Structure 1
Amino acid sequence: MPNLDLVNADVLHPEGLSRAPLSFADGVIADAPAGRPVDLTGFQIMPGIVDLHGDAFERHLAPRRGAMKQLSEGLVAAEAELAANGMTTAVLAQFVSWEGGLRGLAFADQVFSGIRDTAPELVTDIRPQLRFETHMLDLYDSLPQRMAEWGVGYVVFNDHLPHDRLAAGKTPKRLVGQALKAGRSPESHLAQMQEMHARRDEVPAALDGLCAELAQRGVKMGSHDDQTAEGRALWRARGVTLAEFPETQEAAEAAHGAGDAVIMGAPNVVRGGSHNGNLSALDLISMGLCHALASDYHYPSPRRAALMLAQSGLLDLAGAWALVSSGPAQVLGLSDRGTLAPGKRADIVVLDKATGRVAATFAAGRVSFMSGAVADRFFG
């Protein structure tokens, strides 16, 4: 593990950029010169990105249906992409859903077991998140123990059943494609959806019990796609304190006003709005209602979103970068990272000032990514 003094770079702190050297030793930021100096003229040094929610790792684990053979190798490849995008802590979001296939319980078991067994060997701090479909009532009794065995301490609750169409007796959209991906006939897939929809009145009480047990176990819990203040209040009463990707301003305001964390997608910022017409993250950020941005489905987006927000003048650079570093660290309860203060983990991203691209990434003082001209500064 190198002990280094990074000099002549622009270093980002909460109060803004500084030209003071940044030193780190034994994996943490130091308050005095600690080792060999490295001249980083022309570069910016930023806190490592903490990604609260991303599923772009799927392409590495199962590039084609049924093609996953070496899950550990897929995680190594996913880590390389994370590090190349400046991420030093990454939450990998995996479904357990009635949709089956790559979102089914069997695949999730392989993913979570793989993360548990492989993550300790990696440089990037990789953590699992369970995305659980609330109408899978048959799994409620076993879920807490499954999560304990997987090492999953973070769950987000989802409901993607097409209730309106099921209630109206209409065939759900994309039924045949979903059924094929799940390895079911369209008829059996529809029957399963109808059965879960028919038991919808049992879900609230079941969630009350499940959330109480998970809270007792110290599991962090979030809701997904909140639409109303009333709905958010129900989740809060269960101890579900994270509002992930709220779909309306009403829901976001209710969460923020109650002290819950509001998480939005960084691709929403980069695109200038939601890809499916939901609430704009830019609007929430401008109103001060967003605590953190997550990669969602695109790992380059957190860095790009933060830089775009700063370039637009909506936020200063420190405030914009906080949405992908200290903000998500606070949401996850990780007080040892998120800023470049002495004593914090040496989670560092080196950006090329001219292009804004990632030149190097250090996680806890260890190199996870380095490329191009910056490598000559360290090893030339």
Structure 2
Amino acid sequence: MTSLLPPVRLTGALCLIDGALHDTDLTIADGHLADMPGADAADLSGYWLLPGIIDLHGDGFEHHLSPRPTAPFDTGRALLAADAELATNGVTTAWFAQSWSWEGGTRSPDKAEEIMAAIAAQRAQFLTDIRLQIRFETHVTDGHDRLLRALARYGVDYIAYNNHLPEALEQARDRPDRFANWAASQGRTPQQLLDIIHAAKAHDPQVPDLLAALAPQLAGVGVQMASHDDGDAETRAFFRARGARICEFPTTPNAARAAKDAGEPVLMGAPNVVRGGSQAGNIAAQDLIEDGLCDALVSDYYAPALALAAWALADRGVCSFSHAWEMISTSPARIFGLTDRGNLRAGQRADLVIMNPATRRIEGTIANGQIAHLSGGAAARLMRPRTARALAAE
């Protein structure tokens, strides 16, 4: 049994196409946007139809895995709950960011492979297109063969280089209370965690050559590479030389500018925009956007922030709503080479959001031609019997 929408023509709404809202009809048929004038019509006057949100980095799913640090839930069920949350917030394609780290526990290679397997097992039940980004800690110097096998087996197509050792050492020195809480969440003493950090740090001399060897192997299995938290142009150059062509969460304008000067896309967090700055004290995403140094926004730790950020940027006069929405849909598609989505054109996947601009609520999300979320007035209009719609049209 298929759950695809029957052919339907959405009329009356304003549609975001080529950077502007246009008064035109959209037709959905067989999971795609189509040119089919005779399809049954549904009147969505007063609504906006927008490309589905494409989230290139989000770790909010962790809250579903462990709502409390000591209360984990079944991985498969947790992923289904996270999938429903995405759909409610207009996300039709998402990469869950999972660590492969020296930290162990929920950020261990074992946990990463468990999540890979769970995504594969649940894929047929997902409402949205969920993929995995591996946040690879650069100082995991063994097990690269295992990583490559796992990526190839589960079709993982995205990896981000991370090096959180400086941050960890800084926290141990300056915030011993937070460091102790971090250790306790892993069932370790602060000294045990510090020993692990120092052991990883001892691999400093090996890291450049190991990453240089790993990069072509990653590319060979179809993996795109990014670097995370670049602090300066030198760091960006280091990771660029090791295959990372996406700059994710640069912490300074210099790092972002170095990426842009090299023609590389820069990703920043939508929560940073909504809250007016970084919760970690780094550069404000809005400043980078105003300076033309940010190409796309990602959910980071809070999926609702994606749509909220588009409204915030428009309200603050930073850019038009249309441009802001493209930063969470069309631009991510272009950055990742997804030619089948991110636009509302015939032949594309039917990935779209039904926005009520009066309330700013997402009342509907259609993912690959299937209803993933539907509520409010949009639900009433789309669910009207066909005969009633036909009579209304006459």
Is TM more than 0.5 here? yes
Task: State the AA in 1 paired with 2:336.
Answer: L
1:379 lines up with 2:378 in the alignment: no
**Which of 118, 121, 125 is equivalent to 1:117?**
121
Q: Separation in 2 of the partners of 1:165 and 1:307?
A: 38
Specify the code of the residue in structure 1 equivalent to 2:178: R
Aligned residue number for residue 363 of structure 2 = 359
Matching residue within 14, 17, 42 for 2:18: 14
CA distance, structure 2, for counterparts of residue 169 and residue 60 of structure 1: 31
Counterparts of residues 128-139 of structure 1 (less than 5 Å):
128-139=132-143
Q: Quick one: which amino acid aligns to residue 143 of structure 2?
A: L
CA-CA distance at 1:91 after TM superposition = 0.8
SS at match of 1:162: helix
**Counterpart AA for 2:33:** I
The equivalent of 1:50 in structure 2 is 54
**Conservation of the 8 A alpha-carbon contact between 1:284 and 1:290:** yes
Contact 2:64 2:73 in 1 (8 A): no
One-letter code aligned to 2:243: G
**Pairing of 1:233-312 with structure 2 (within 5 A):** 233-312=237-316
- Specify the SS of the correspondent of 1:174: helix
Partner residue of 1:204 out of 184, 204, 208: 208
Show CA shifts across 1:258-302 (max 9, x none): 111100101111111111221111111112221110000010111
How far has the Cα of 1:310 moved from its partner?
2.1
Aligned partner of 2:285: which letter?
A: A
Alignment of 1:1-380 (within 5 A): 1-2=4-5, 3-33=7-37, 35-65=39-69, 67-162=71-166, 165=169, 174-380=178-384
State the distance in 1 between where 2:259 and 2:17 align.
28
Which amino acid in structure 2 is aligned with residue 7 of structure 1? T
Provide the secondary structure at the position in 1 that maps to 2:165: coil
| Change beyond 3 A, Cα 1:206–1:4 | same
> Are the equivalent residues in 1 in contact too, given 2:168–2:197 (CA < 8 A)?
no
For the structure 1 residues 39 and 215, does the alpha-carbon distance in structure 2 shift closer, same or farther, using more than 3 Å as the test?
same
CA contact (8 A) 2:103 2:196 kept: no
2: CA distance, partners of 1:177 / 1:93: 23
For residues 30 and 115 of structure 1, the distance between their equivalents in structure 2, rounded to whole angstroms, comes to 30
Does the C-alpha gap of structure 1 residues 193 and 304 become closer, same or farther in structure 2, counting only changes over 3 Å?
Answer: same
Identity over aligned pairs, percent: 45
> Which shifted more, 56-65 or 227-236?
56-65
1:214/1:298 CA distance change after superposition, 3 Å: same
Q: Is contact 1:100-1:181 (8 Å) kept?
A: no
User: Does structure 2 retain, via aligned residues, the 8 Å contact 1:71–1:114?
Assistant: yes
How far 1:311 sits from its partner (Å)?
2.6
RMSD over aligned CA atoms reads 2.0
Residues 171-180 or 23-32, more deviating: 171-180
SS in 2 for 1:234: helix
Q: How many residues align?
A: 380
Equivalent position amino acid for 2:181 in 1 = G
Structure 1 Cα separation of the partners of residues 176 and 37 of structure 2 = 63
TM-score by length of 1: 0.95
3-state DSSP of counterpart to 1:59: helix
Distance 1:299 1:191 in 2: 35
Q: Report the equivalent of 2:388.
A: none
Distance 1:52 1:230 in 2: 24
